[in-house]
Structure 1
């Protein structure tokens, strides 16, 4: 039996004021798989994403990558080593690429800063940076540009390139195309599909957009008020939803002409 590349069991998140934002969420992602987590704002899906990559600590529950549980306690040195170990396996791509990039750094400098954590040789870092830019469809000259000189789609490609620096097994994409125009969004989704085929990387897409989920995911989890209310193969969930909340999400799809029985 193949070991899941990512597994979360019983994730629960309760804040100091007693508010429960995630309640008993479990998921399993196969190597090279693509899973969507959908729900309206406040459903808890972004909190799940942040717990998976270590930006939030679960109140209870576990996260395992390649069969190894990820921990958050211990000494300062242990926590630093654990963050690096996690970063080598799983990376997060944010919704707003401009906010996730340092406006003072060129693209090349930002990528090199991350590469130094994994590769001490300068020439190899330079070659790897060029490879990464090529993988996301950017010209090598982009390395000399700062984020404010790039379009939104180019900035998101840079963010994806940075996430690939450590050759992770999983990318968590938190509304990663929602800030882009529809035509640019399609280009980035096609890029992600190509990267998945090329690298065998697994994806966890956090999105409110059911058309995006249908285009790029194999399996789907529907969240409502912190809990999973439906799960299954993406096409099955979108064409024959069992839960009333999922049916309400489908009924509220704003894209004219989109229908869950076909790709957008």
Structure 2
């Protein structure tokens, strides 16, 4: 029987909170008993605005937080909750890996790229030095880095290169599922495209399944097969990417789509009406409420 690469069943997360009008019971529900599946080798996007619950969902799946209720299954096997042995934690690391938005904060600033990858291989696999060196070289090539970058410290790399290192490190454990939590959000558009192309090539070569946590619908359209739309901790729409983006059924999804800038769009300038006077010596530029191109 073929199991989904990832299955989320009735996942719920409640945080304690101050008693307010919005939280009369002193609890804040970040995720309401939601469920979805990710096919082997598939690519699923979880989209929504900040506070929609998508990152909470990712943290629960990877094990960085404990769910209030519900279950997470990888390849048909439930990921255990509570305290686990070091051996079990290593096995879980080979099931699901995560790449965060800021790669610099997740990399050891004193560790060279090659050593960073070798450390993961030493932890998860029984390899001799020659096998390990060969696998490190393969990972470096797979994400589009070269030998000079392999010997560099994180501070010597660009943001896009550091993100490639973070992806290579996650892939070193050979996970069934790779979670990408806003993994290209902080990159320039041209660098985003390069990293997304790398991810597409890696998926084709390895069969790893992707779970994209993102607010960027352009990313969804480029690299994902299916999409789940979240709002305030609930899934409001789901389906194949083409269907959801072209024929959105829920008003919230339609608002998300309408907020994406389109060709020919120019921002409106803000007016100074109602603002306090500017101190002398700091004149304001002319303002306008028209959509004329900015100078």
Superposition TM-score tier, normalisation by shorter sequence: over 0.9
Q: For 1:22-33, what aligned pairs fall within 5 Å after superposition?
A: 22-33=31-42
Deviates more, 1:205-214 or 1:137-146: 137-146
Q: For 1:218-233, what aligned pairs fall within 5 Å after superposition?
A: 218-233=225-240
Please give the alpha-carbon distance, in whole angstroms, between the structure 1 residues aligned to 2:68 and 2:129.
41
- Residue number in structure 1 paired with 2:269: none
Deviates more, 1:120-129 or 1:15-24: 120-129
Aligned-partner SS, 1:117: helix
- Residue number in structure 2 paired with 1:262: none
Q: Check 1:233–1:257 CA distance in 2 against 1; reply closer, same or farther (3 A cut).
A: farther
- Residue number in structure 2 paired with 1:36: 45
Aligned-partner SS, 1:35: strand
Aligned-partner SS, 1:102: coil
How big is the shift at 1:255?
A: 5.0
Of 34, 45, 60, which aligns to 2:69?
60
Of 8, 13, 20, which aligns to 2:29?
20
Q: For 1:95-244, what aligned pairs fall within 5 Å after superposition?
A: 95-120=101-126, 121-244=128-251
TM-score using structure 1 length: 0.93
Please give the alpha-carbon distance, in whole angstroms, between the structure 1 residues aligned to 2:262 and 2:110.
37
Aligned-partner SS, 1:15: strand
**1:73 matched to 2:82:** yes
Which runs of 5 or more residues in structure 1 are unaligned? 259-264
How big is the shift at 1:248?
A: 0.6
Aligned-partner SS, 1:104: coil
TM-score using structure 2 length: 0.84
CA RMSD of aligned residues (A): 1.4
User: Residue 94 of structure 1 contacts residue 173 of structure 1 at CA under 8 Å; is this kept in 2?
Assistant: yes
Aligned-partner SS, 1:235: helix
How big is the shift at 1:256?
A: 3.6
Max Rg structure: 2
Aligned-partner SS, 1:103: coil
Please give the alpha-carbon distance, in whole angstroms, between the structure 2 residues aligned to 1:223 and 1:141.
42
How big is the shift at 1:79?
A: 4.0
User: Residue 90 of structure 2 contacts residue 124 of structure 2 at CA under 8 Å; is this kept in 1?
Assistant: no
Aligned-partner SS, 2:124: coil
Deviation sequence 1:194-253 (CA, Å, 0-9, x none): 111111110000000011111111100000000000000111001111111001101111
How big is the shift at 1:72?
A: 1.9
User: Residue 119 of structure 1 contacts residue 125 of structure 1 at CA under 8 Å; is this kept in 2?
Assistant: no
User: Residue 238 of structure 1 contacts residue 250 of structure 1 at CA under 8 Å; is this kept in 2?
Assistant: yes
Deviation sequence 1:176-211 (CA, Å, 0-9, x none): 000100000001001111111111110000000011
Which runs of 5 or more residues in structure 2 are unaligned? 18-26, 266-295
